Amino acid sequence: MEILIKHADILQNGGLAKDRDILIEDSRVSGIGKIECEAESKIEGRGLLAMPGLINMHTHLGLTMARGLFDDLSMEDFLKQTELFDRRNSEESIRRSALIGMAEMIATGTTCFLDFYYSEDIIAKVAEAIGMRCALAWAVLDEDKTTQKGSPVKNCEHFLSRGGSDLVNRGVALQGVYACSDETMLKAKEIASETFLTMHLSESQGEVYSFLKERGKRPAEHISSLGLADDRFIAVHCVFLTKREIEGLKSSTAVHCPSSNLKLANGIAPVPELIEAGSNLTIGTDSAATNNSLNMFTEMRSASLLHKSTHWDPSIMGYETCLEIATKNGARALGIDAGTIEEGKLADIVLVDERSIYPFTPSNLVYCTTQRVDTTIVNGRILYRKGEFSDEIKKLLQ
């Protein structure tokens, strides 16, 4: 399929390249500049900003139907409620949850996500049917702590054996040190040898101090000692870290989930310090059960304002940094050829209506909450345009 976007502004290096045409052929950007040609689909881009699609690095789409059910609970009580929910979560409920969650993300500018759950084979089918790019990580934990049928390790191995596709990458997820023995964690690393390994890490004080009391080490320190924290390791939350632990994660990817951490009163991750140490910082919404929203624009805003305030420094987590962690850094973590708009790159592009923010500046993509997504393109296909989903998504949503 060919798509020609005419006269759009393009977000590049935090600034605007004004009045540019973008030609998309098949799944990639094939030209940028002044382009005159016929195309199957033509989009008038005046008043629109073309930006790289946002990459949501932590979701639990199987919990979308739990939105609003477990609000205002402690972390401990929330986990108990989600365990009960998981036990009765049916395949149809997971499918519907995934569909609703993906539709919400597409309508708010997300073109790729990393999901962390079981039954990822169901979520993979939905993503393929919709045309959504994703990385799906099957949840692994000890057999005596799971709601899954059978062995989580074997379930994950079976999931990985089916292989990926142009849209779906398959990986491994460790629930956390509170649910995984060393044997389970090392087995997960082994089966993830050809892909990525993600993990909830140091999310709450309870997790950190319980593990410290039991094992004599902090969770992130222990993960590093097991050799998990390499360049394919994706650590989620990372709220309670010492300087030594931050140093141990410098080769890995860290996922910041500010809204979820704030809502569960878990604390504030040392994000500027992780960046300074060299970690590949990314950002995620977490589930609709903890965040109530899967909107990455509001997540960027929360991240920026939170760290400016806690560090008493308005220059920290500037809008350019926030846009980078939501695009380039996510693409780097997942090994996908996206995250910027350049010739040859994958055509995962979002068009934002500049007239929804007046006056428009690139910084308002992060600091303003009125931005309206006009078009979402994934892998060279239009999935959302002027408030309407593609025919494939409409049929699935019926």
Residues 58-88: tens digit of each pLDDT: 999 999 999 999 999 999 999 899 988 988 8
Instruction: Look at residues 327, 381, 394, 331 and name the one whose alpha carbon lies nearest to residue 43.
Output: 381
Q: Classify residue 139 as exposed, middle or buried by CB count within 10 Å of its CB (0-12, 13-18, 19+).
A: buried
* Whole-angstrom distance, CA of residue 353 vs CA of residue 32: 20
pLDDT band (50, 70, 90) for residue 126:
very high
Instruction: Look at residues 230, 279, 278, 231 and name the one whose alpha carbon lies nearest to residue 255.
Output: 279
CATH superfamily of domain region 2-53+341-397 = Urease, subunit C, domain 1 (2.30.40.10)
Residues 337-377: tens digit of each pLDDT: 999 999 999 999 999 999 999 999 999 999 998 999 999 99
pTM for the whole structure: 0.97
Q: What is the pLDDT of residue 15?
A: 86
Tell me: pLDDT of 385 over 90. yes
Residues 192-216: tens digit of each pLDDT: 999 999 999 999 999 999 999 999 9
Q: What is the pLDDT of residue 137?
A: 98
* Whole-angstrom distance, CA of residue 310 vs CA of residue 270: 10
Q: In which residue ranges of the chain is CATH 3.20.20.140 found? A: 54-334
What six digits make up the tokens of 259?
Answer: 């809204």
Q: What is the pLDDT of residue 306?
A: 97
Tell me: pLDDT of 147 over 90. no
What six digits make up the tokens of 373?
Answer: 């997504």
For every residue of 227-279, DSSP letters joined together read T--STTEEEEE--S--HHHHHHTTTSEEEE-HHHHHHTT-----HHHHHHHT-
Tell me: pLDDT of 13 over 90. no
Domain 54-334 coded CATH 3.40.50.170: no
Q: Long-range contacts: 11-16, Cβ < 8 Å, 24+?
A: 11/49, 11/50, 11/51, 11/52, 11/323, 11/341, 11/362, 11/365, 12/340, 12/341, 13/320, 14/319, 14/320, 14/323, 14/362, 15/362, 16/49, 16/362
Q: In which residue ranges of the chain is CATH 2.30.40.10 found? A: 2-53+341-397
Q: Mean pLDDT across the chain, nearest whole number? A: 96
* Whole-angstrom distance, CA of residue 99 vs CA of residue 335: 24
Q: What is the pLDDT of residue 143?
A: 94
Q: What is the pLDDT of residue 14?
A: 80
pLDDT band (50, 70, 90) for residue 261:
very high
What six digits make up the tokens of 37?
Answer: 């040609």
Tell me: pLDDT of 185 over 90. yes
